[in-house]
Amino acid sequence: MKLNQKEQEMLDGKNGKAAQKAIEILSALGDIFGAEGFIDVKSVQIAGVSYHNLGEAGLEYLENMAEDGKVSVFTTLNPAGMDIQNWKKLGISEEFAQKQLKVVEAFAKMGVKTTCTCTPYLIGNRPNKGDHIAWSESSAVCFANSVLGAYTNREGGPSALASAITGKTPEFGFHLDKNRQAQIEIKVSGKIEKFTDWGALGHAIGDKVGKKIVLITGIEKASEDALKIFSASIATYAGAAIFHIEGITPNKTEKPSESVEITQENLDNSKAFLTDATEIDIVAVGCPHCSLGEMEQIAGLLEGKKVSKEFWICVSREIRDKAAEKGIVEKIEASGAKIACDTCMAVAPLKGRFKGMATNSAKAVFYGRGKNSFKTIFCDLEECVDLAVRK
């Protein structure tokens, strides 16, 4: 790694301890991955915010960095382990809450905007095509690279924080055009209309081609919400950090010579795989966090109804507040459903509290099963609401 004068000064400790640690981490990463130097980043999104995942050692690391560390670019956080304001409503213990609040305080002290969301692009942290950024959360990374045309690797919590402090990242991986080209064409002949079709498509691609960068053909249109939920699914089941959809996504790529087909049968098999429960005691939607349009749709579906089970709607605080201004929150809460801001069904400590979860997100299925040992029903939003209100 070649360092310029400013970077060398950071490494020499002239900008303080945290900046020194940060540039050390990034230089080591750059050396490992063969980067020649650093590039400037326009924004950062930091994962590793839930105390559930960080533990005491993680909290201590953040508090040390916060002693003299300050972020130098716009930085937001990934979901935390609880709703930062209304954690009691979601059944979070006092002990966990105090630790989680300390984590958020440490980030705030460093100048991070402590909005905790996996959809930073819906709340102002939205890069332009061609911008280099350092984001962490897998669905957000996939969305930023593929749908927005930004350039980011999938950062770990410490490297993202290091980029936030230095404003830099080593130039390797998905920051280079040559590493963003499609390697295989996916010819979709099955029907892609509902969100569960998009979730199933991500799973089916992972099943067929693993981690190869795909160029998807045969799809005529896709809403931003559909691409949001697809980014989460393909990142989870295919480990993808970027994908291309012919005529829809903005990045240029050559058409690969190799191709495979995803048929209706493949999609049906993926949907069947994602459901293994007959009974559920929680319904959770908003993975990735809901857009305002989704909140509006949920409110419409819940109008005049009462839920009979725990129903979590995961969303960023900003979108929740915008929804409140439009009377959407009031309508949702009148049904007994709970709006979970700053957190989600995967990072909140839910294990043992519930056995079966219905969700419209293929990614939430993966984490519900893996982290919380839930059985799952994978179904569209309308059916999620039906299950939530059914006695």
Query: What mask, x for binding ligand F3S by CB under 6 A, covers residues 49 to 78?
Result: -----------------------------x
- Residue 147 burial (10 A CB sphere; 0-12, 13-18, 19+): buried
Q: How far is the CB of 161 from ligand F3S (least distance, A)?
A: 17
Return the beta strands (E) in 174-279 as ranges.
184-188, 214-217, 244-245, 259-262
Looking at beta carbons only, is 65 or 287 nearer to ligand F3S? 287
* Between 143 and 174, CB nearer to ligand F3S: 143
Least CB distance to ligand F3S at residue 49 (A): 9
Report the DSSP beta bridge partners of residue 375.
356
Cβ 70 to ligand F3S shortest distance, Å: 26
Q: How far are the Cα atoms of 65, 75, 111, 172, 207 from residue 30, in angstroms, in the given order?
A: 21, 21, 25, 7, 32
Element housing 77 (H / E) = strand 74-77
Q: Which of 147, 186, 287, 381 lies at the binding interface for ligand F3S (CB under 6 A)?
A: 287
Q: What do you get for the CA distance between the two ends of the chain, in Å?
A: 62
Among 121, 367, 374, 378, binds ligand F3S (CB under 6 A): 367
Nearer to ligand F3S among residue 195 and residue 367 (C-beta): 367
Residue 166 binding ligand F3S, by CB under 6 A: no
Contact 129, 89 (CB under 8 A): no
Distance from C-alpha of 199 to C-alpha of 364, rounded to nearest angstrom: 10
Closer Cβ to ligand F3S, 21 or 289, answer by number:
289
**Judged by CB, which is closer to ligand F3S: 252, or 351?**
351
Site stretch for ligand F3S (CB under 6 A), options 198-206, 274-282, 287-295, 371-379:
287-295
Q: Using CA atoms, how far apart are residues 390 and 153, in angstroms rounded to an integer?
A: 43
Q: Does 48 bind ligand F3S (CB under 6 A)?
A: no
Three-class DSSP category at 199: helix
Closest separation between CB of residue 193 and ligand F3S, Å?
Answer: 22
Angle at 212 between CA 267 and CA 192, to 5 degrees: 25
Minimum CB–partner distance for residue 351 and ligand F3S (Å): 14
The first and second tokens of residue 319, run together, are 């979108």
172 in the Ramachandran plot: left (φ > 0), alpha (ψ -120 to 50) or beta? Answer: beta
Bond before 288 cis per omega within 30 degrees = yes
d(CA 366, CA 233): 9
Closest residue by Cα to residue 202 from 231, 241, 245: 231
Site for ligand F3S in 291-350 (CB under 6 A): 314, 344, 346-347
Report d(CA 184, CA 270) in Å as an integer.
20
Task: Name which of 232 and 245 has its Cβ closer to ligand F3S.
Answer: 232
Q: Which lies closer to ligand F3S via its Cβ, residue 38 or residue 237? A: 237
* Residue among 149, 190, 202, 288 that touches ligand F3S (CB under 6 A): 288
Taking the complex as a whole, the smallest distance from the CB of residue 235 to ligand F3S amounts, in Å, to 8
* Footprint on residues 215-234 left by ligand F3S (CB under 6 A): 232
Share in percent of the chain as helix, strand, coil (round to 5): 45, 15, 40
Least distance to ligand F3S, CB of residue 89, Å: 18
Residue of 19, 363, 378, 381 interacting with ligand F3S (CB under 6 A): 363
Q: Where are the beta strands (DSSP E) in 329-374?
A: 338-341, 356-359
In the region spanning residues 229 to 258, those forming contacts with ligand F3S, defined by CB under 6 A, are: 232
Q: Print the binding letters for residues 128-147 with ligand F3S: x by CB under 6 A, - otherwise.
A: ---------x-x--------
Stretch that binds ligand F3S, among 16-24, 38-46, 183-191, 363-371 (CB under 6 A): 363-371
Residue 84 as a binder of ligand F3S (CB under 6 A): the answer is no
Compare residues 26 and 104 and give the one whose CB is closer to ligand F3S: 104
Q: Exposed, middle or buried, 128 (CB in 10 Å: 0-12/13-18/19+)? A: exposed
**How many residues interact with ligand F3S (rule CB under 6 A)?**
16
Binding site for ligand F3S (CB under 6 A): 78-79, 118, 137, 139, 232, 287-289, 314, 344, 346-347, 363-364, 367
